[in-house]
Structure 1
Amino acid sequence: MVKVTDANLFFLAVWLSRAIAETPSTGTAPPRRIAVIGAGIGGASAAHFLRQHFGKSVKIDVYESEAVGGRLATTSISGQEYEMGGTTIHPLNLHMKEFVKMLGLKERLHPDNLLAVSDGEEFVFEESNWFIVNIIKLIWRYGLDFVRMKMWVESYQHRFMKIYRYQAHGYSFTTMDKLLHGLGGDEFVQMTKHSIDEALQKIGIGHRFMDEMITPIMRLNYGQSVNINAFVGMMSLVSAESALWTVEGGNKLVCSGLLYSAKANLIKGKVTSVESKQRPLRNGEVVTFYEVNYTAGPDSGYNMYDIVIVAAPLHSGKSEIRFHDLTQPIGGQYQPMVVTLVLGRLNTSYFGHRGPFRPTAITTTAQSGSFILGASVTPPVAPDARPPSPAPARVWKVLSPEPLGEERLSRLFPTGHGAMREARWLACPRYSPADVVPPFVLRDRLYHLSAAEWAASTMEMAAIAAKNVALLAHHRWFQRLDKIDPDALPQRLKTEL
């Protein structure tokens, strides 16, 4: 007998959605043109889901001023490509798994790193190759805090998995608060209202475990402290698990593949403004369109759309898109993160370590005083890539809040280093429990996919938001309001099965 799981139901629903047309026979004509602003994983996913739900006739334009993939990017060192942006994907990220399968790409298991945590003077924790040794070390130093944390994460993760079932049945939400409420009621919503520090202390996590394990993970994933909200903190702890994977050849291939599969028209230009326009029809009816203005080098242009989906962060440091007649706030500040890939031999004495060195990933505590957040050995994206030369050197991915500079690089790699590549990202929102998560709906037929980032920023969260916004745009266009912000959702699903 086949065991029925959330993943089984999800992939069955994907197959059914391809076999059954989504567009209802309401007599309403489908939209002619839809614009998606941004070609990162959110925008590419949106193009895919829009094609899936609106059908073949609609024209989908995707605007991107930089490289397709956004914060998914690779760079070359010694003839090999390495990830410079988002790297690992969780085994339960079902949308990403479906994308890879649909596009004929391959999953590649990311090698498990041996972790060491530095407080600036020594490694306060160092992993072993032996699982049982690690458990003994964790219990010896932190008691049962690791077990408490693991159980807490899994309880929320299990409830979050319901989103795939809800989306498979076509349900959508106008805000992240309503989406989270549908998954776990008020308790889930409140996770964005208080910090991960408060949430874990409430279940009995001690200060030592918080300082030496939880804080370094938050610093490594988001460049921030345990003052970030509990929901994004939970997502960060999930991403620290084993059995993580990447896309062979680079995660950015998912973005270009989805755009090609969706037959989206890529416009290489920078969007400058989005403005609503009204036009009279021959029958006297007045319809509203959106005018998207953009620049492409020295040239400029504009196009008119029935629906616009913004799949790019909106704030003064990241985007300069002007929205006419839009008064509500739609963005905040983003956290800078510098990724530096260095071919060389890491100076372990910088972290206070003496003797043989085995770890392949190092995190730092907030008290360490280190100018880096962490560093790890990173593999090339190709499956059969040869190790860099000379043999003792490895490619290290170093994360820091600001550029390292030659003086700091020489402290990390005192015997010199080979090739070096740097990327400066505005990687994710600067989280605070006081944040007001913006809505997905900015105004009629104008949607903000990146609103989901203010709850948590991951590749899968962007794909979930893209599916939600595509469904939302579809249901609002065809007036299927029963599929939006549903009440008593678990009871509804029981009657539909």
Structure 2
Amino acid sequence: MRIDYLSKVSAAVSAFFAPPHFHLSSGKASVKELVPAKSVAIIGAGAGGASTAYYLNSFLEQPPSRRSVDHSITIFEQSDKIGGRCAVFKVRDAGQHKDHFVEVGASIFVKVNHHLVDAAKEFGLKTKPLDNELVAIWDGKRFVFEESQWKFWSILKGLRRWSLSPIKLQQLLKKTVGDLLEYYKSPEAFDSIADFARRFNLEKAAAVRSSDFLRDAGIGDLYSHEVVEVATRVNYGSNLDEIHALGALVTMAADDALQIYDGNFQIFEGMVAKSKANVRLDTKVARVRKLRPENEGGDHRFEVTTTSGQRKIFDAIVIASPIHSSNIDFDIDLPPLPKASYRTVHATFVRGHVNPAYFDAVSAENFPSHILTTNSGDAEFTSLSIQLKLSNGETVTKIFSPKPLPLELLDRLYSNRTWVKHKEWKAYPRLKPLDTLVQQPNADQSSEQKQQFVLGASWQKKHEPAPAETAWGKVEVVPGVYYVNAFEPLISTMETETIAGKNVARLVRDRLLGHCAVERIKS
């Protein structure tokens, strides 16, 4: 069921101006009395902001030591909804007297995305599998590959065209996914994305172009350009020489794809509700200012001012939206931050009938659900996917393209159209190869560890990273101020936004508890 947060706005506004609550001590110093109440502001209610609030509240309410902390979380969101880049719109099927919801942005997650899967179960959200949908690859003139309804036949066709490259790629994916899965077993908090990447063996793949990485791994060029690049084009708007290898591998790890009925955004609405945060929708933050400590040697606090002139003071600030496009005045001595540029994507939604003649098909029967395109120069769009099949025979399709589609192209793509919707947005960062931070071996390390450093250095020398617009980011950019989106140049998915959010929640928790990790506190 969709959670309605608009009813919270009036209560949140009054709470914004309310004086702090006082209580009489019992005379015995409880843990809560020893740890003063703490307040945290989260700017942005997308996947990163929502998950930060969700995990932070959990950590502060019931940490492993049972040492709870009085706290308040306030979320500022400039739009009127929770979910950020997760959004849907409604389509009415008159024949079925039923409403359907079409994903505009982040459309799928997979079964190994444990945060999303677990949250969906916790909030009672129903998932639907998408793996039975057929995919075809279009080079602008013909289909170079079409999946069959018989999975075994599709595998044989793939091996015939691409030899052993699909198998070699699966081996690479198995290792990368296995490394990432180690994260879910770890209670660690990381203040540097470089440290995170190094801890889970991701830094080498993030430092080189996909084209170089795949070639060195023995992946054939035909498979790289007809399959891997096709996937990076639709998921990140990038060709192989524009994206680091980690981004390409994550893109290909899409088995067991899932969606939430009526919209993935409900996961993040559920997280915000569970966090018990004060939610300030339709509220734009204008300024964040660092205040002087009230006492000598005390911690700095921060004043948040909205565009309407409302002000409130917090112990910690979490920035959960791209800093460079936020238009917020940060009066907190921010250090120079690497600028992460985001790709502009045009999503065009069409209700009507796809014209099979455009694809040299005789009829729309057994037409592929997803048509992905190669970087041949002849394709007129990036992808075309059927989102809904309606009872009157119409479909609702979503087309991704790097620029708006001309009406002339739509006339050729569709035999008729009931309506067309268009959305332009900054969908994802440019995942350019990142500069690595290879440490020098020290005397205390084993010979095996020293050899790993030598191997890492030789890898870098052989594969000089392309000039990168982004670099490894710090998560706590200044003491008490945290940046969730520092994670995005490494990996950008719904799940990794929740990983970034949980990591920030751990860092905030440790600061609020005096830099002492909760796992090490003995009751």
Q: Establish whether residue 332 from structure 1 lines up as the match of residue 332 from structure 2.
A: no
CA distance in 1 between counterparts of 2:346 and 2:258 reads 22
Q: Which amino acid aligns with 1:335?
A: R
Q: How does 1:208-219 map to 2 (within 5 A)?
A: 208-219=222-233
Q: Give the counterpart letter for 1:191 in structure 2.
A: A
Counterpart selection for 1:36 from 42, 45, 64: 42
State which of 273, 289, 305 in structure 1 corresponds to 2:301. 289
1:68 corresponding residue in structure 2: 82
1:249 equivalent to 2:284? Answer no
Q: CA deviation at 1:454?
A: 0.8
Specify the alignment match of 1:495 in structure 2.
none
- Alignment match, 2:190: 173
In structure 1, distance between residues paired with 2:37 and 2:497: 24
TM-fit CA distance, 1:271: 1.5
1:388 equivalent among 387, 390, 394: 390
Equivalent in the alignment of 2:316:
307
Contact 1:338 1:399 in 2 (8 A): yes
Structure 2: 5+ residue stretches without partners: 1-29, 62-68, 93-98, 434-467
**Does residue 103 of the first structure (1) align with residue 138 of the second (2)?**
no
> 2:200 aligned with 1:183, yes or no?
yes
The Cα shift of 1:53 comes to: 1.1
Q: CA deviation at 1:352?
A: 4.9
> Match of 2:118, SS?
helix
Shift of 1:430: 1.4
What displacement does 1:321 show?
1.8
Q: Distance in 2 between matches of 1:177 and 1:75?
A: 38
Residue equivalent to 1:45: 51
Aligned to 1:431: 431
Tell whether the 8 Å contact from 2:38 to 2:512 is kept in structure 1 after alignment.
Answer: no
Partner of 1:233 in structure 2? 248
How far residue 347 of structure 1 moved from its aligned partner, in angstroms, is: 2.4
In 1, are the aligned partners of 2:285 and 2:306 still within 8 Å (CA)?
A: yes
- Taking the aligned partners of 1:207 and 1:218, their CA distance within structure 2 comes to 15
Equivalence for 2:496: 461
Corresponding residue of 1:8: none
* Corresponding residue SS for 1:161: helix
Aligned-partner Cα distance in 2 for 1:53–1:468: 11
Within 2, Cα distance between the matches of 1:348 and 1:365? Answer: 19
- In structure 2, do the counterparts of structure 1 residues 190 and 397 end up closer, same or farther at CA, with 3 Å as the change threshold? same
Q: CA deviation at 1:286?
A: 4.6
Give the partner amino acid of 1:449: V
> Which residue of 371, 386, 391 corresponds with 1:377?
386
Which amino acid in structure 1 is aligned with residue 111 of structure 2? P
Percent of pairs with identical residues? 27
Matched, 1:127 2:147: yes
SS at match of 2:375: coil
CA contact (8 A) 2:345 2:403 kept: yes
Q: Assess, with a 3 A threshold, how the Cα gap between structure 1 residues 203 and 352 changes in structure 2: closer, same or farther.
A: farther
Aligned residues: 438
For residue 142 of structure 1, what is the aligned residue in structure 2? 162
Deviation string for 1:20-47 (max 9, x for gaps)?
xxxx969962552100111111111111
Letter in structure 2 aligned against 1:161: L
1-structure distance, mates of 2:134, 2:127 = 22
Per the TM alignment, residue 235 of structure 1 is displaced from its structure 2 partner at its CA by 0.9
Pairing 1:400-479 to 2, within 5 Å after superposition? 400-413=401-414, 415-433=415-433, 434=468, 435-479=470-514
Matched residues in 1 for 2:390 and 2:128: separation? 20
Cα separation, 1, equivalents of 2:126 and 2:381? 32
CA deviation after TM superposition for structure 1 residue 311, in Å: 0.8
Secondary structure of the residue aligned to 2:208 is: coil
* Deviation (angstroms), 1:80: 2.5
Uncovered stretches (5+) of structure 1, i.e. residues with no partner: 1-23, 380-386, 485-491, 493-497
Q: Distance in 1 between matches of 2:192 and 2:380?
A: 37
What is residue 5 of structure 1 aligned with on the other side?
none
SS at match of 1:300: coil
Cα distance, 1:272 vs. partner?
A: 2.0
Q: Deviations over 1:149-184 (max 9, x none)?
A: 111111110111000000xxx311111110121112
Residue 58 (structure 1) aligned to one of 71, 75, 78: 71
User: Offset of 1:285 from its aligned partner?
Assistant: 5.5
Cα pair distance change 1:465/1:266, threshold 3 Å: same
Answer yes or no: is the 8 Å Cα contact 1:28–1:478 preserved in 2: no
Separation in structure 2 between the aligned mates of residue 408 and residue 46 of structure 1, nearest angstrom: 43
| Aligned-pair CA distance for 1:399 | 0.9
Change (3 A) 1:142 1:287: closer
Deviating more after overlay: 24-33 vs 346-355:
24-33
Greater mean deviation of Cα atoms: 252-261 or 403-412: 403-412
* Distance (Å, rounded) in 2 between the aligned partners of 1:153 and 1:105: 29
CA contact (8 A) 1:313 1:331 kept: no
Larger Rg: 2
Q: How does 1:344-383 map to 2 (within 5 A)?
A: 344-353=352-361, 358-379=367-388
| Secondary structure at the counterpart of residue 354 of structure 2 | coil
Task: Tell me if 1:194 matches 2:194.
Answer: no
State the alpha-carbon separation in 2 of the partners of residues 33 and 477 from structure 1. 9
Tell me the CA shift for residue 346 of structure 1.
1.5
Deviation at residue 464 of structure 1 after TM alignment: 0.6
Secondary structure at the counterpart of residue 425 of structure 1: strand
User: Displacement, 1:302?
Assistant: 2.0
1:452 and 1:465 in contact (8 A); partners too? yes
Whole-angstrom distance in 1 between the partners of 2:33 and 2:514 = 11
Alpha-carbon distance in 2 for matches of 1:351, 1:291: 58
How far the C-alpha of 1:350 sits from its partner, in A, is 2.9
Q: Secondary structure at the match of 1:402?
A: coil
The Cα of 1:417 is off from its aligned counterpart by 0.7
Given that 1:171 and 1:483 are in contact with CA atoms closer than 8 Å, whether structure 2 keeps it comes out as: no
Offset from partner CA, 1:106-154 (integer Å, 9 cap, x none):
2222253211111111100011011111111111111011111111111
1:193-250 CA distance string (max 9 Å, x none): 10121111111111111111111100011111112011111111112x2x21111221
3-state SS of paired residue (1:470): helix
How many Å apart are 1:83 and its aligned residue? Answer: 1.0
1:466 deviation in Å? 0.7
Q: Relative to 1, partners in 2 of residues 1:395 and 1:156: Cα closer, same or farther, differing over 3 Å?
A: same
> Does the 8 Å CA contact 1:77/1:419 hold for their aligned counterparts?
no
Q: CA deviation at 1:479?
A: 3.7
CA distance change for structure 1 residues 194 and 25 in 2, over 3 Å: closer, same or farther?
farther
Distance in 2 separating the partners of 1:219 and 1:39: 27
Specify the code of the residue in structure 2 equivalent to 1:244: A
Q: 2:327 aligns with which of 315, 320, 326?
A: 320
Question: Residue deviations 1:403-432, cap 9 Å, x none?
Answer: 22422222211x221132222220111121
State how far apart, in whole Å, the 1-side matches of 2:152 and 2:125 are.
35
Aligned match of 1:205: 219
RMSD: 2.2
The amino acid of 2:274's aligned partner reads S
Q: Which moved more, 1:402-411 or 1:205-214?
A: 402-411
The one-letter code sitting in structure 2 at the alignment partner of 1:58 is H
TM-score (norm 1): 0.83
